[in-house]
Amino acid sequence: MRLLIDEKREIFTEPYYFKLFKLHESYLLLISNERDMGIGSVYMSLPSTIQGLPPSSANYGLFGMGRDLLGKVISEQCSSFLKAPTLLLLFLKTKLKDEKIVKPLVNALNDMLKTIENDPDK
């Protein structure tokens, strides 16, 4: 397991922590607005095997976190960019609604993914 991203970003004056690990032919992404990350909701996304079709995803929410839209969008975006299966652990205790935070979180993630785009070990 290799750590590719370990960043903190401010979104709506609230800190968000991102960690991306490279596993064997797959990735583990952790996102939280708490320094001590938890399990929260778990999402799995696979890149599309047919060009032009969106990636497929499945989710399982633990502890009733209820962030299905947000987790699905983030895991599919990451899996599509990395072209590999991605497991997302999303642990958010924010009061912000998914619709408000999805775009800033995806934009921050995209910025971070671009920094590892040319990494031969990604």
- Is there a domain that residue 28 lies in? yes
Global pTM reads 0.85
Region of 37 on the Ramachandran plot (φ > 0 left; ψ -120 to 50 alpha; else beta): beta
pLDDT digits (tens, 9 = 90+) for 72-101: 889 888 988 898 999 999 988 877 777 788
Range of the domain at 54: 2-115
Instruction: Label residue 67 by pLDDT band (50, 70, 90).
Output: low
H helix intervals, 34-84: 68-82
pLDDT digits (tens, 9 = 90+) for 5-14: 999 999 888 9
- Is there a domain that residue 56 lies in? yes
DSSP, collapsed to helix, strand or coil, labels residue 81 as helix
Number of domains present in the structure of the chain: 1
- Is there a domain that residue 45 lies in? yes
Contact between 108 and 79 under an 8 Å Cβ cutoff? The reply is no
- Is there a domain that residue 120 lies in? no
Backbone phi and psi for residue 107, each to the nearest 5 degrees, phi listed first:
-65, -45
What is the residue whose two structure tokens read 């609230």?
14
Q: What is the DSSP letter of 54?
A: P
Q: What is the rounded average pLDDT of the residues 38-42?
A: 84
Domain holding 109: CATH number? 3.30.230.100
